[in-house]
Chains A and B, each alone.
Chain A
Amino acid sequence: MNSLWTQLEPLLPHVQKPARYIGCEDGMQTPEHGPGIVSWLLTYPDTYEIGLPNQGLQILYEIINERPDGAAERSYAPWTDMEAVLRRERMPLFSVDTHRAAGDFDIIAFNLSAELTYTNLLNCVDLAGVPVRQADRADDAPLIGVGGHCTYNPEPIADFVDFVVLGDGEEAVGDLTELVREWKVAGKNSGTREGLLREMSKLPGVYVPSMYDVEYDGAFLAGVTPRYSDVPATIEKRTVADLGEWPYPKNQLVPMTEVVHDRLSVEVFRGCTRGCRFCQAGMITRPVRERPAEQVSRMISEGLQRTGYDEVALTSLSTADFSGIESVVKNAVSDKGTGQISVALPSLRVDAFTVGIAAEIQRARRTGLTFAPEAGSWRMRQVINKLIREEDLYGAVESAFSQGWRRMKLYFLTGLPTETDEDTLGIAELARNCVKLGKTHKSSASVTVSVGGFVPKPFTPFQWFGQNTESELQRKIGLLRDDTRRSKGVQLKWHDPKATLAEGITSRGDRRLGPVIEYVWRHGGTFQEWSEHFNYELWLEAMAANDCDVDWYVYRHRTEDEVLPWDHLSAGLHKDFLWQDWRDALDELGLEDCRWTPCYDCGACTGYGIEHRVASATPPAGGSQGTGVDLSAGGAVPVVLQARPKPEVEVVS
């Protein structure tokens, strides 16, 4: 149970960025461990820089450590050089808080927010000294749990995990701690692990894959059914009804070394009802639950004072939709009075109102602006239900250029359902028009177009859609490259279609993909999110070696009656609602945001007896609000636009 620090310390000068492994963050906790205390190792299966800012992990870290019967520490995937050192020295994965061996924890719980981290999950379990396959684990081995957005289809990793938490983890970690504590106090005796897992499977929101049998009908799935009568047939996600009761993290971790998003984060709401059909996050996190505006303001001012950060991000799936946005922003920028605080809105809505807010709050340091029209034509945007008119985009872009921004980023998806070459090329046309608007203000105006290949995700209306092939995505990107080659001011960037394919394999797979993931890991395929480590051939080889067909798993359209690998799980959404929305998509029919329109019974509220929690019953001002209708006509944008600043320094976003 001793700290591994003294063994680790002499090794650190031999690895890159040793500060990744020292902990020492402001807000770090060094909890007591003991026989009556359940210890959790919360692990992010990517580097420290990527994992540390993860808010979900930090929230659970605090909640568990506040419990008298809980102790939580953290770990991150060691970079390849550190892994080599650990394996050479026969040292295990460790926590960064007290450098405790991972195998000494009762639970090792992973946050999964990207499918390509699955091989890192296996690597961390292995480095912990725990068998990667659930069935091979001894009774007293640490329990391996997972949570996060990817767990809405955990079937590809079902063989490797003991339990899965669906939805919000705030309450579930308490239930799990109590159950595991009883088991621990009783001595984790031989033969009791199975019983513990069976009890766990009865907790709301907790899925224990080993308690279910999977049957196939040829290549198709026949069903995933409980092995015991007291194990639930359907697992419903957990949903925290009132975010105001959970003002976490209270002490956001401030790292000693640089990480992505090195700033204060305050979650202003959870859930989104814009209804973008490609967006899994928007579907699985319903309903909308806003944090009270006063609480947001308090978390900002106390957080800035405590951390010393000069930047705060207001996080959510669409922060400009927060009904308290104006008051919160005004308080934040006036609070310090020094004008040195900047507020980041990581998810900008595409309209002039939003840009007005951005101008107001980025007085201190102005970063680049990013908009996500997602598709290049109005037809395509109706299909995906991102009802942004061209006028909205041009209004936003005009507003941004006129207020001093000189470059912006536009995000698009390609490979969407029903997409034609005309739709794809619409992306280039939109970008050129944006540059044209910019040139009237500044000759150096430029627009970066970032194109990602679309991966259909579980619990979205597009879950039945056959993903575009890798070569089709390559062709579409080729079209855009040819078309923008002579477009001055348009810079095209794209996500590797090969990586899009690998994501597609794991996104909608079933348990037969377990051996594929294990194969990739055993052949050195870690850090698959990193382009320098991504190994396309290895994925294809692993599929072939395990008789899994890429066409069948990725490129095939699913039918209405097909049993999907996640049908025994529930995000609250009715399957017939999703199917109807898929048919509407093909008919190019939009669906309005139910926050401000009558309920269309997707199931997320009614099924759980909860409601949207929004402070305002009317949509915020400006733009078309995703309705495709001009809601701003006749109404002034209620934000005072600043005079155009005179930039002295080129801003690099």
Chain B
Amino acid sequence: MKLRIRFDKHGKIRFTSHRDVARIWERTLRRASLPVAYSEGFSPRPKLSFGLALSTGHESEVEYLDIELDPERTDVSMDLDSLATELSTHLPVGMTVTAVAFIDRQTPSLQEAVTSCTWQIDVVDVDAETVAGAVARALAAENLVVTRERKGKQVTDDLRPLVLRLDVEGPIEADDTGTVAGVRLLAELGTQPRAVRVAELLAALDPPLTERRVVRLHQWITNDDTAERSDPLSAALSPAPAGAT
């Protein structure tokens, strides 16, 4: 028996890491006395499964978490709306549960299923024309090659196929933290076979851009057969297409 939870992350708490968020959830679930299933063995851990890591410092409208419940202690008729409220009261300021649903135990994990994310990216210390040029060059390019270190080896990747969308939204006069002028971008970045990080995309642009505020707006699951996009909650709730496992 599994629950899928959607929550957001804004404000000061965005400076916590993915691991920090996992610990915050473990404590939150114990405080809410949710009957979470535990792993067996010498060092039992609650069976929680998080989606794609959010970089430390980035905000999000749409983080997801799957929780396996202990069927013997779970009341299947529990009111999910009040559960969402209850969990939110135990979460730190800046994190709120926005949806809860029971999902099938066989639902593919978030890590496997999510195919892309939409990002709102504010870049600063740059004028709109330069940003437009950098975006146009990236979209026109056949490839966007980056090298990164992985297990001590230099690995080369082409980001271009994973940049599904990159639009200039327009200038921003100021944000809530002061009077930093900049430009807002919207990007949809693929996550398979690996998730493109916003920072590496910005670094790969010509000229490279500096992020100021980054918000994850959507996570998408693309159905292989129909090519339709849906969010991880609707995807898990809709009946599986024929032939799917």
Contacts and interface: CB of A to CB of B under 8 A. Distances in A.
User: Are A and B interaction partners?
Assistant: yes
A421 interface: no
B44 A308 contact: no
B19 interface: yes
A536 to B, nearest CB: 31
B77 interface: no
A641 interface: no
Interface stretch (B8-16, B147-155, B165-173, B233-241): B8-16
Contact of A308 (B31, B94, B177, B212): B31
B113 to A, nearest CB: 28
A366 B44 CA distance: 10
Contacts of A258: 19-20, 23
Interface string B43-75: 110000000000011000000000000000000
A638 interface: no
B41 to A, nearest CB: 4
B13 A6 contact: no
Nearest to A650: B42
Nearest to A15: B15
A254 B20 contact: no
A24 interface: yes
B177 A366 contact: no
B180 interface: yes
What interface size band does chain A fall in? 35 or more
Nearest to A338: B38
Interface string B65-91: 000000000000000000000000010
Interface of A: 5-6, 9-10, 12-13, 17-19, 21-24, 26, 254, 256-258, 262, 304-310, 340, 364-366, 645, 647-649, 651
Given A305-B31, A308-B26, A308-B28, A366 B42 contact: yes
A24 B27 contact: no
Contacts of B177: 6, 9-10
A648 B15 contact: no
A22 B15 contact: yes
24 contacts: A5-B12, A10-B178, A13-B211, A22-B12, A22-B16, A23-B12, A24-B13, A24-B92, A24-B93, A254-B27, A256-B16, A256-B92, A258-B20, A258-B23, A262-B23, A308-B26, A308-B27, A308-B30, A308-B90, A310-B30, A364-B44, A366-B43, A647-B42, A648-B40
Contacts of A5: 12
B17 interface: yes
Given A6-B177, A308-B90, A19 B17 contact: yes
B27 A340 contact: no
What interface size band does chain B fall in? 20 to 34
Contact of A19 (B16, B43, B178): B16
Nearest to B93: A24
B13 A22 contact: yes
B164 interface: no
A394 to B, nearest CB: 25
Contacts of A340: 38, 44
B203 to A, nearest CB: 14
A266 B154 CA distance: 49
A648 B42 CA distance: 6
Interface in B202-233: 211-212
A23 B41 CA distance: 35
Contacts of A262: 23
A310 B38 CA distance: 13
B126 interface: no
B24 interface: yes
A23 B16 CA distance: 11
Most buried by B among A24, A262, A645: A24
A85 to B, nearest CB: 14
Contacts of B26: 308, 310
B180 to A, nearest CB: 7
